[in-house]
Amino acid sequence: MPFRQINVAVIGAGWVGGIRANACARSPLVDRLHIAETNPVRAAEITAETDAASVTDDWRAFLDDDSIDAIIIASTPESQRFPIVRAVLAAGKHVMIEKPIAPTPAEADEAIALADAGNLKFTVGYTRRFDPKYAYINQAIKEGRIGEPVTCLVSRNITREIGAKIKGRSKMSPAAMGGTHSIDFLLWCLQPRLPVRVYSQQAGKLFSQVSDTPDHQWIMVTMDDGTTITAGSGWVLPLGYPQYSQSWIEVVGTDGALTVDDTHREVRVNTTEHGIRYPLSSMPGEQVDHVFAGAMVDETLHFLDAIAFDRPVLVTAREARLVMDVTMAADLSAERGEAVDLPL
């Protein structure tokens, strides 16, 4: 199969960007890896880990480098990323960006238009789609294994350690930060159905005492064929492991039901120092010796494949744009205390 080696740059090599940079560094599809990281300590760390060809604190250095094919954008805060997205797409680079796709729908549309005009791959980090359990649910629903879907539930909670990190850097709601993964996943499973109505409620008793960030948000979505979605997202669980996350999934159909326990209770470590912990339980996953436990490396390799072999990306920017409509409608609904119809 014909393919070409590519050169990739990662902008923002923190927790997630670090995983993606390491995945690129190990892939034979990547010739040269470049890093842009503003934190000098982290920049030195990741350069040593990945043997990067170059490291800079200014991503603009990539714009005029025609040898760079693709850019992965994983910098925070999310609200400050759009100038990067616009500039790198305009410079003709393929792009993977962490969710959300853009701060506003108009900016998302502008980025999609730039990618279309340049015939560029443009994808968003909806990592759950690359988790085998989630891929199984999608396949089972699309193949009609449970008949017609009737209702779908995803309840996801993460620890207050991550909640505090998110709270500190932006005012984005649980719908936009965590709920977005569940909404993307369920809209994907239910394609070609489209969302028509959204109702949402938020609750806050912990972080909301010191900020305007709620602790949890439920989102109910009605699809155009009457299927209902309920997605909950919160970030105040006690520490169960660094970056611990747990999800519970139920899909009920006319001819069956799917139940997936993604609560990471299958591995337990009990130590005198930390008590009970549930390892291998963060959303993106983590490196364990010679293997990666989690979906983010496969997701990153899929992006590299798409460019090197000229294949379509699994998560399209237009799908991410639809997810944005739903999470924005959810925030509007929570604010107004009433259901919101789509399209907005």
Ligand X SMILES: NC(=O)c1ccc[n+]([C@@H]2O[C@H](COP(=O)([O-])OP(=O)(O)OC[C@H]3O[C@@H](n4cnc5c(N)ncnc54)[C@H](O)[C@@H]3O)[C@@H](O)[C@H]2O)c1
Stretch of residues binding ligand X (CB under 6 A), selected from 74-82, 107-115, 228-236, 271-279:
74-82
Question: Which of 59, 185, 241, 303 lies at the binding interface for ligand X (CB under 6 A)?
Answer: 59
| Contact indicator for 39, 304 with CB cutoff of 8 Å | no
Among 22, 50, 123, 127, binds ligand X (CB under 6 A): 127
Contact 185, 326 (CB under 8 A): no
Shortest approach of ligand X to residue 34 CB, angstroms?
Answer: 11
CB closer to ligand X, 8 vs 13: 13
Q: What share of the chain is helix, strand, coil (3-state, %, to 5)?
A: 40, 30, 35
C-alpha span between 241 and 243 (Å, rounded): 6
Binder among 11, 101, 221, 301 for ligand X (CB under 6 A)? 11
Contact flag: residue 15 with ligand X (CB under 6 A): yes
98 near ligand X, rule: CB under 6 A: yes
For the bound state, the minimum distance from the C-beta of residue 250 to ligand X, rounded and expressed in Å, comes to 21
Minimum gap (Å) between residue 1 Cβ and ligand X: 28
| Beta carbon nearer to ligand X, 32 or 145 | 32
Does the protein bind ligand X through residue 85 (CB under 6 A)? no
Q: How far apart are CA 54 and CA 36, in angstroms?
A: 9
With contacts defined by CB under 6 A, name the span among 11-19, 140-148, 266-274, 315-323 that binds ligand X. 11-19
Looking at the chain, list the stretches that DSSP marks H as alpha helix, in order from N- to C-terminal side.
15-26, 40-50, 82-90, 105-117, 132-142, 160-169, 174, 180-189, 296-308, 317-336
Distance CA(130)–CA(224), nearest Å, equals: 26
Q: Alpha-carbon distance 233 to 180, whole Å?
A: 9
Q: Binding of ligand X at residue 253 (CB under 6 A)?
A: no
- Judged by phi (left if over 0) then psi (alpha if -120 to 50, else beta), residue 225 lies in alpha
Q: Are 251 and 141 in contact (CB under 8 A)?
A: yes
Is residue 17 a contact point for ligand X (CB under 6 A)? yes
Q: Is 151 in the site for ligand X (CB under 6 A)?
A: no
Q: Is 16 in the site for ligand X (CB under 6 A)?
A: yes
Does 284 help bind ligand X (rule: CB under 6 A)?
yes
Tokens of 26: 């190990």
Q: Tell the smallest beta-carbon distance from residue 216 to ligand X (Å).
A: 17
The residues of the shown chain that bind ligand X, judged by CB under 6 A, are: 11-17, 36-39, 42, 59, 74-76, 78, 98, 125, 127, 283-284
